[in-house]
Amino acid sequence: MKLLAFLVTLLASASAADTLVPAHTIRAQTVIEASDLLVRDTNVAGALADPADVIGKEARVSLYAGRPIRASDIGPPALITRNQLVTLRYKRGNLLIKTEARALGRAAAGERIQVMNLTSKSTLVATVLPDGSLQVAQ
């Protein structure tokens, strides 16, 4: 009898789960705010339920009103945009070389991105640092 009561409670709590949905269409590359979200009393597999997981993140794809938000639909906000001029750093031991480069895509902190060194015109892969500069991989 206790097992039956436990299963009924478990099923009731699973069906009463919350799902986050956009209150309106959110375009890709838009940072999501609390006013952009609604909570629906449904359970959708793979959908996010905690607003803290979404607020402050950037929409990677267009999010349509009423459709569940999945983890793959959002990510950290981009610090670097395509064609932006950035500081490119190469460090090895005590040697530090800084130069200017042009970003060839969008990226957030910790992501790797292709850039073009403006002096040599060569294409390199660099990692975006939290301050918005880029570190060339060694």
pLDDT tens track for 37-92: 999 998 888 899 999 999 999 999 999 999 999 999 999 999 999 999 999 999 88
CATH number of the CATH domain containing 47 = 3.90.1210.10
- Chain-wide mean pLDDT for the chain? 87
Tell me what pLDDT residue 138 has. Answer: 65
Question: What values do phi and psi take at 82, rounded to 5?
Answer: -60, 140
Whether residue 63 is found in the same domain as residue 95: no
Amino acid at 112: R
Last-in-domain residue among 75, 100, 120: 75
Tell me what pLDDT residue 3 has. Answer: 40
Q: Which residue has the higher pLDDT, 11 or 82?
A: 82
Whether residue 48 is found in the same domain as residue 95: no
Q: Which domain holds residue 88?
A: 78-136
Last-in-domain residue among 75, 94, 112: 75
Q: Is residue 4 over pLDDT 80?
A: no
Whether residue 88 is found in the same domain as residue 49: no
Tell me what pLDDT residue 17 has. Answer: 72
Helix, strand, coil shares of the chain, percent, nearest 5, are 15, 40, 45
Whether residue 86 is found in the same domain as residue 59: no
Name the residue among 129, 100, 125, 130 with its Cα closest to residue 115.
Answer: 125
Whether residue 120 is found in the same domain as residue 92: yes
Whether residue 28 is found in the same domain as residue 70: yes
Gyration radius of the chain over CA positions? 22
